[in-house]
Structure 1
Amino acid sequence: MVRVVAGSDLAFRPALTAGLCYIVAVLACFWPTLMGMVDIWSRSDTFAHGFLVGPISAWLVWRQREGLAGIAARPVPWVLPLMLPLGFAWVLAELAEVRVVAQLAMVAILPVGLWAILGHALIQRLAFPLGFLFLSVPIGEGLIPPMMEFTAWATVWLVEASGVPVYREGLLFTLPTGVWSVVEACSGVRYLIASFTLGLLYAYLTYRSLARRVLFALAALLVPVIANALRAYFIVMLGHLTNGKLATGVDHLLYGWVFFGLVMLLLFWLGGIWREDTEHPRVASPTESGDAPAPLSRLFITCCGAILMAAMWPALAHMRQATLSPVVAEAPPAPPALASWEVGGAQPWRWQPVREANVLRTQAVYRFGGEPVVLYLDRLDPGLEGAELVAMPSRLLGEGESSRLLRQSAQAAPVGVTAGRINQFSVADGHDRLRVWYWYQIGSRATGGAVNAKILEAWEKLRGSGVTQARIIVVTREDSLAAGAVDTATERLARFLGHAGPVIENTVAGEAASGASRE
């Protein structure tokens, strides 16, 4: 190994100072975005590892300090324009309150600016530590529905293969000894994120070849998915064989984490068979790199340019927010009686969608013979921070023990609704089985997609106009869906929206936007 001379440390100090100044400036400019991440880390077990990502990344840089000091910093100012799309994405996400996109954009701005300041050679050495920072972003909730579905399917298949009769209804399945359901905590997303974070770090520290690192990272993604299905199966069978005496309550989660720990230990043990960390790479000296340090003036100018490129976006978002037209904070009125539908009375079931504190709600019950249809019109209160209408079914369902999500999907919107596609899910609450349809309306445009809703919101705010945000929910009782049975819940909701859909959307949009184009 070639030892780095003290002079190289002195030559590296200006680059180190410039890089640290840029990092501090970016964190200061995007402080609210950073604090939003910290808030999620502090209240979510799934993303609590975010507190460790920054220190681990700093340690990864520190452990190769001698090699870094032997490489000359060569600023590349032409990289700075790459910050433009990242900053614009952050502005759009901030205006539309898409926190995860804003957080990803903020993290991405860090390595791009450092690339411009330090140059190609240094950024290549720092690629993994800087890339590791992306694991601090609380992302992955979109995987919860498909992983819940896979866990339910795999568990039922394994239970049936074990000779135990089981009846599945969506995410709810019944055995002779009890009823089980797959909830968010059982989806395995928590295991998946933890496994991938640990696996990625292990692969970087243990292997030298890119192929082995990629293969181990893929194994760290695949293994927890399979392991979670086996974990759910073992817990269900343990509860079944002990007649509910074991694997319920707190020990349910305890057995899950113990099993996950054993699986990870086995994965790391197998991965250690092909380890390549016993040979340390040779450290280059400044003379071997062939590059002389850049002039301090060029380093200073590039650093200042990177800081200005990062700081302009929060300033732009603040100016845009200040020019938005105010929106009246009041709940939209429910339509009166429509055609043969009578309005009034109380809903005959207990369950209703969760309403956040920053949401204004209007509720009405409509009847046309038989079962009623309940309408919920939710409007965002723009005067409150953190207001959000876009939600997955599990968020509308709530965290109560009595309500269970059975199934969820997207489907074509019925006649009378201009959203194109709407969201659908079924919920079990005691003896009630309910069908829920919902979609969003941003200004005068309706959409069922969460991404579309956020794009429309950001576009309206970029135009400088206040925008009404609403969530429209209709609920009715679900009849038997046995083979050959008529799906009367779908027919009832479609018939109601055929009469009420245009009235609801025009009411939400308001008279000023009644003639606007619809999606």
Structure 2
Amino acid sequence: MSKSEALKKTERDGTALTFAENKAFFISGFAIFCLWLVFSWQGLRTVVEIWYGNEIFNHGFFIVPGAFYLIYLKRHELLAQPIYTTPLAFIVIVPAVLLYVVGVAGDIQLFMHAATFTLLPALIWLMIGTKAAKNILFPLVFMLFSVPVGEQLIPYLQEIAADGSVALLQLTGVPLYRSGLYIEIPQGRFLVAEACSGVSFFIASFVIGSLYAYLNLVSTKRRVAFVAISLIFPVLANIVRVYGIILIAYWTDMEHAAGADHLIYGWFFFAFVILCLLGIGELMRETVQSERRDYSVPKKPSISFTIFTVLFALFIVSTAWAMNITSANNATKLPSKPLLNDLMGENCSATSWQPIIVNADVEETIYLSDTNCGVKVYAAWFSEQDNELVSDLHRIFDPERYSLAETQQLVINDTAFTVYNVVSVSGEKLSIVRWYNVDDKLFTSSVKTKVHQLKNVLLGNASGGRMYVLAAEGHDLSATNSDLSTALSQLVD
């Protein structure tokens, strides 16, 4: 039976998925969707703020609508399958719900966002059954691209771009000096900043490459190969972009490839990269003869009210638990004792270094005594009410003014501290250390700090904590680390 014949027969028999014939199915689906909206509201609100506020993730607005359009394109194959509710979806739903509650408890947005956009396809799976879900597997998985993740790759992509562009410049005989992420040529100095990391290229290419492979390639090997190319190609292209900008500046004595020219060149290059990627896809595209498929007449959906009852109970209990956690986490806005207790400050001239800390409740800054104004300490208190002690938004140095040269390890009182050696445009060198204090316990790992805070919240305790950032000035890194070790010993004790 052809597609048109099946559809005509469906219309005659009245067995299509019409509202009049399947009120219970549609009402149940709408109720589940509303329940998802209510349960995931905090995650949805914060993810929309990120989509709107961060240009790297602007594509997030189009992912879910695009996924539903892909499902619409598969509607005939989908309706040809038996539609029934399945309890197998709880294998994904229950962990996703728990992950969301943990995200709310620890104010971990990544957990909330991942759980939100894992729940949506899992609920669709629950509604339509396993056989039908297999027909739209890619659109369901595609929804996960809504999760705003990938900024953590920026430092690594910066290093790759700097390493690759320096290698190409040396290969073409351009004289240069590199210090961290700064690349100096006779005509001027360049910083491979976060905007030059190519993370936007990388994420956009991954999304477009995955979508293109699904729509235009049939062989699994070719699909995997093209997705791999979509990950590697933008990284290599970004190296060429950074190299091209510096090379143009070298040839034109900084007349071009700076300022507005820099941005225009970047966007045109991005468009060129996407066109090249699609061109590679066309070369890999397979010629597939259209097949005549038989479309069986869709049967009336089968729904289980027992499954819906369990689902509603799970959401209600989890929502109540999350609300209880939120109301219980009411730590005092002020720390119980001074942040820099028993530390003697000195009247020193201000330095250019200052960490970028977002929305702290209390902040203090002093210079340690007996260091000749060489060691500066910043301390901040976070109550975890509309702020976060551990957050990717916090920066221990301004990336527009300083560049990371290397990291080292210092062990003090059996505790390992990571020392970030940074250098400024003017050549100023700093060694910076960060650590946390929660419940009078010292943590140097942001992950362990977050886990401890999460445990406090789940137990109904306050989760507020302190952040300390210590910076030692000096051009001699060995001497700086010695001063830093002494200062840390005083603070840790």
Give TM-score scaled by structure 2 length.
0.90
Verify: 1:319 aligned to 2:321, yes or no: no
Aligned to 1:352: 354
Query: Is the 8 Å Cα contact of residues 180 and 423 (structure 2) preserved in structure 1?
Result: no
Question: CA 1:246/1:475 → structure 2, altered by over 3 Å: closer, same or farther?
Answer: same
Distance in 1 (CA, whole Å) between partners of 2:333 and 2:394 is 29
Task: Give the drift of 1:326.
Answer: 2.8
Distance in 2 (CA, whole Å) between partners of 1:71 and 1:442 is 54
334, 345, 349: which is aligned to 2:340?
334
Task: Give the drift of 1:24.
Answer: 3.3
Aligned to 1:45: 55
Query: Is the 8 Å Cα contact of residues 70 and 284 (structure 1) preserved in structure 2?
Result: no
Aligned to 2:475: 479
100, 106, 127: which is aligned to 1:96?
106
Equivalent runs, 1:20-39 vs 2, <5 Å: 20-39=30-49
Amino acid at match of 2:39: C
Verify: 1:58 aligned to 2:64, yes or no: no
Distance in 2 (CA, whole Å) between partners of 1:253 and 1:188 is 13
Aligned to 1:176: 186
SS in 2 for 1:396: coil
Task: Give the drift of 1:424.
Answer: 2.3
Equivalent runs, 1:120-139 vs 2, <5 Å: 120-139=130-149
Give TM-score scaled by structure 1 length.
0.86
Distance in 2 (CA, whole Å) between partners of 1:351 and 1:178 is 23
Instruction: Provide, for residues 457-499 of structure 1, a one-character-per-residue CA deviation record: whole Å limited to 9, x for no partner.
Output: 1111001111231111101113145xxxxx1111110111112
Task: Give the drift of 1:282.
Answer: 5.2
Amino acid at match of 2:411: P
465, 468, 491: which is aligned to 1:469?
465
Verify: 1:218 aligned to 2:228, yes or no: yes
Moved more, 272-281 or 471-480: 272-281
432, 435, 446: which is aligned to 1:436?
432
Aligned to 1:512: none
Task: Give the drift of 1:367.
Answer: 3.4
- Number of aligned positions between the proteins: 482
Verify: 1:388 aligned to 2:393, yes or no: no
Distance in 1 (CA, whole Å) between partners of 2:319 and 2:405 is 41
Task: Give the drift of 1:355.
Answer: 3.0
Aligned to 1:424: 420
Distance in 2 (CA, whole Å) between partners of 1:276 and 1:312 is 50
SS in 1 for 2:363: strand
Question: CA 1:277/1:251 → structure 2, altered by over 3 Å: closer, same or farther?
Answer: farther
Distance in 2 (CA, whole Å) between partners of 1:350 and 1:65 is 61
Task: Give the drift of 1:431.
Answer: 4.9
Moved more, 269-278 or 171-180: 269-278
Task: Give the drift of 1:11.
Answer: 4.4
Distance in 2 (CA, whole Å) between partners of 1:315 and 1:283 is 49
Aligned to 2:411: 414
Question: CA 1:309/1:282 → structure 2, altered by over 3 Å: closer, same or farther?
Answer: farther
Distance in 2 (CA, whole Å) between partners of 1:323 and 1:371 is 43
Amino acid at match of 1:491: S
Verify: 1:275 aligned to 2:293, yes or no: no
Distance in 1 (CA, whole Å) between partners of 2:462 and 2:287 is 57
Query: Is the 8 Å Cα contact of residues 425 and 437 (structure 1) preserved in structure 2?
Result: no
Task: Give the drift of 1:90.
Answer: 1.3
Structure 2 unaligned runs (5+)? none
Question: CA 1:47/1:325 → structure 2, altered by over 3 Å: closer, same or farther?
Answer: closer
Distance in 2 (CA, whole Å) between partners of 1:442 and 1:321 is 19
Query: Is the 8 Å Cα contact of residues 170 and 406 (structure 1) preserved in structure 2?
Result: yes
Distance in 1 (CA, whole Å) between partners of 2:325 and 2:371 is 50
SS in 2 for 1:10: coil
Question: CA 1:277/1:83 → structure 2, altered by over 3 Å: closer, same or farther?
Answer: farther
> Percent of pairs identical after alignment?
26
Amino acid at match of 2:405: R
Aligned to 1:361: 363
Verify: 1:489 aligned to 2:480, yes or no: yes
Verify: 1:446 aligned to 2:419, yes or no: no
